[in-house]
Amino acid sequence: MAGRELIPAETVDEVFKALAVLARTVDHVLQERAVENALGQPVSLSKIQVLRLLHRRGAQTPSGIARFLGVTRPSVSQLIESLEDMGWITRRSGVRDGREFLLELSEEGRERFLAVRRQQRHLLRSALRQAGSRGASAWIRTLREIAQSLAQADRAFDAFCLQCGAHADGTCVLVGGEADCPFLHPSTPRREGRRRLRPRDRA
């Protein structure tokens, strides 16, 4: 069978190298540079992820944010406090459980997130113009195939989330696997240990 053919190690290594370069380029251009250009200062990916989450899904509890980031509840506290000090998020009492509050974007936080998104869109438009008229559809198709193949190759979807909201439009690569999406299955505890935020994530 074609799917069982032995792929040369050299080919596998070249694919890995290309993916590593792509991942680093995306991280540098669409995260580090886009954020710094939009906000005038470096801001950690974790903070931008929280802003994106609150913009897409509205108010969340600290526990919900921790589950989304895949970290422990105590380790996300400092991140939340920092975003509050910056004036980008605000808190209000929970509706069902007065013991846990809800966090939502402030007007400034919304403006900051939208500024980052505009910059990311600008950079992607510039790249797509170089790719030609059919570049966008080809990119989307290829990138989805790569992501889905990698996720299926692992065969272990526990504690894995793209943090992209793809389940909402049916493009989640975990569909068909034992997905442990924190929003599709919010009551299911992750079976792997959650990571702690590193210092660079809190910056």
Q: What pTM was computed for the model?
A: 0.73
Identify the pLDDT of residue 41.
Answer: 93
Better pLDDT: 135 or 104: 104
Please report the DSSP string for 134-152 in residue order: THHHHHHHHHHHHHHHHHH
pLDDT band of residue 147 (cuts 50, 70, 90) is confident
Q: Does residue 142 sit within a domain?
A: yes
6: in domain:
no
Does residue 139 belong to any structural domain of this protein? yes
Q: Give the SS3 label for residue 111.
A: helix
pLDDT in the model for residue 87: 97
What value does the CA radius of gyration of the chain take, rounded to a whole number of Å?
19
Confidence check: pLDDT of 96 > 70: no
What pLDDT is stored for residue 105 in this prediction? Answer: 97
pLDDT digits (tens, 9 = 90+) for 41-71: 999 999 999 999 899 888 999 988 888 887 8
**Domain annotation covers residue 186:** yes
CATH of the domain at 164: 1.10.10.10
Higher local confidence (pLDDT), 152 or 183: 152
Amino acid at 118: R
Structural domains of the chain, count = 1
Domain limits for position 68: 24-202
Q: Tell me the average pLDDT across 99-121.
A: 94
Rounded to whole angstroms, how far apart are CA atoms 27 and 203? 16
The whole-number pLDDT of residue 2 equals 52
pLDDT over threshold 50, residue 177: no
pLDDT value at residue 68 = 82
Nearest one of 54, 29, 64, 69 to 198, comparing CA atoms: 69
Which has more pLDDT, 112 or 173? 112
52 inside domain: yes
Kindly tell me if the per-residue pLDDT of 157 is higher than 50: yes
Domain contains 14: no
In a domain, 30, yes or no: yes
Question: Is position 17 within any domain?
Answer: no
